[in-house]
Amino acid sequence: MIRSVAIFVVFLLFTLSSPLFAQVNTENFRKSDLAPGFHNALNLNFGATTGNTRVVTTRLQFRSDYVEQTYRGFFVGSYSQGSTGGTDFQNESFIHVRVVPDLLENLKGEIFYQQEQNPFRNLTSRNLVGAGLRAPITRPTLKLYVGIGLMWENERVAGEGLNQLLRSTNYVSLHRSIDDRISFVTTEYFQVHLGNYGDFRLLSENALTFRITDAMQWSLDLNARYDHQPPPGISPYDLSVTNGLSIHF
């Protein structure tokens, strides 16, 4: 218990001292213990700083899961906005849809679509359509997943026009239950352009979740991104830390 509290305090201090930027952890949306039917969750993140500089950030996020005996799927939609001194520095939208059918006892398929916009990264629009395979390795309190796949990326960058390419998308995800109320998910992605191996992205998504009640939980997310060939004038590195309250119904 002391160890769990220490993890919470350290992560919370880091969260409160860091700028808030929205980034969506799709792996954290997977739920392995849901009963058949629909399950929904609404998440609201809010951050504010006042004094010499006034910074306000908000993110509204909705998730819906549908579970059947031989397949499952989920939809995630989010919108994020941030301003400082009356000037916007963030305006991002995100949609992700994924269907996961059972293929074999320890092998699942994945079909997904994703759409996002982020003008502050010069990203006018990005549309992804992909498919892959997912293999689980489970233990009572530890779950490891390995995924491989391909995705067609249709990306429009300000000043560059339309880019269309095929990427390999691969990940390793670790789900750890610290106790009956606290869980941790970390996922490492590697995405590479199959026509240009110098064009690749590394993403690290991490979420620490605290269950308050059966219908309410608090989550802390730390996400990092490295784009080896970012749009002109854009940094290859991004780091985001967010925290928020989720209501499940």
Domains of the chain plus CATH, in order, are: 2-25+91-248 (2.40.160.40)
The whole-angstrom separation of Cα 184 and Cα 195 is 35
Residue 209's pLDDT band (cuts 50, 70, 90): very high
pLDDT in tens, 90-107: 788 999 999 999 999 889
Average pLDDT for the chain: 82
As a whole number, mean pLDDT of residues 8-37 equals 49
CB 73, CB 97: distance < 8 Å: yes
Residue 214's pLDDT band (cuts 50, 70, 90): confident
The whole-angstrom separation of Cα 12 and Cα 111 is 35
Measured over the CA atoms of residue 125, residue 131, residue 132 and residue 136, the dihedral's sign is positive
Partners of 201 in the β-ladder: 191, 227
